[in-house]
Amino acid sequence: MQRLLGALASSYLGLVLVFLYLPIVIMMAMAFNRSELYQLPFQFDLVWFKTLAQDNELLQAGLNSVLIAMTNTLIATLLGTLTALAFARYSFAGKPLLHLLLMPSLIFPWLITGTAMMIFFYWVGINRSLHAILLGHVALSLPYVVLIVGSRLKSVNLSLEEAATILGASAWQTFWRITVPLLAPGIVAAALFAFAVSFDQFVISYFLAPIGVSTLPVEIYSAIRKGYTPEINAISTLIILFSMGLMGVFARFSKFGGER
């Protein structure tokens, strides 16, 4: 019976993985297919990558997404880490309320959040621009960073910081040499999450983008409405390969999981 249950569980897991990854594999394969209509038999060709290299609008949208996501990652990770430290180490008036106010931005639909931001920015005089998009992305990413780093803080042993202080280390030295290395796994995870949330964000970018300027998700949406072309597969393939390569390098050289 145990073997039967194990086989059923393995089969179920395999079906879930196939359901999740088979469409991605097919999309990547079609990026190298010569046919514009995905006709078979498969004919290997790089024509869609060459077409992508000449599509200035799609490339500019991708560059906008990368720049916004990187800037958002730096800002959200810094502010979120400091906020998590403040919540974990200090007591102040309104702390439970502020901590509670982080939750709605995680559970509210992004459609509502995007509409609210568009109305608020218009009310305070902030025009639709890449800067407005960045503000929206930081507002969305910040709660995730606070929660991830805050969870890591709960597992940090305070006795190590106390020992450093007793041995004569200043507060700044203790922070950089003890606290930051201990928090590094949580900070890196939060930064990756902030980058993914920003790079993949469509609703906020769509509502706050100025006319003639867009991010990659918005540009892909517009391209699908006008007529889907395999160059979308090409840029998606490049993004996937880059992401997998980055994660592979990170997994290879990091020691967050311990020594082998």
Q: What pLDDT is stored for residue 78 in this prediction?
A: 93
Q: What average pLDDT does this structure show over 157-165?
A: 77
Most distant pair of Cα atoms in the chain: their distance? 72
Q: Is the pLDDT of residue 195 over 80?
A: yes
**Total residues found in the chain within this entry:** 260
Which of 97-101, 119-123, 214-218, 239-243 has the weakest average pLDDT?
Answer: 97-101
Closest CA to 60 of 52, 70, 72, 51: 52
Q: What pLDDT sits at residue 15?
A: 92
Contact status, residue 82 vs residue 190, Cβ threshold 8 Å: no
Structural domains in the chain, sorted by start: 56-228 (1.10.3720.10)
Top-ranked range on mean pLDDT: pick from 67-76, 148-157, 178-187, 226-235: 67-76
Rounded mean pLDDT of 205-230? 80
Place of tokens 């997994």: 251
Looking at the DSSP bridge assignments, the partners of residue 44 are: 33
What mean pLDDT value characterizes the chain?
A: 82
185 contacts: CB under 8 Å, gap ≥ 6 = 152, 256
CA distance 203 to 158: 41
Q: Count CB neighbours of 177 within 10 A.
A: 13
**103's torsion region: left (phi>0), alpha (psi -120 to 50) or beta?**
alpha
pLDDT value at position 260?
44
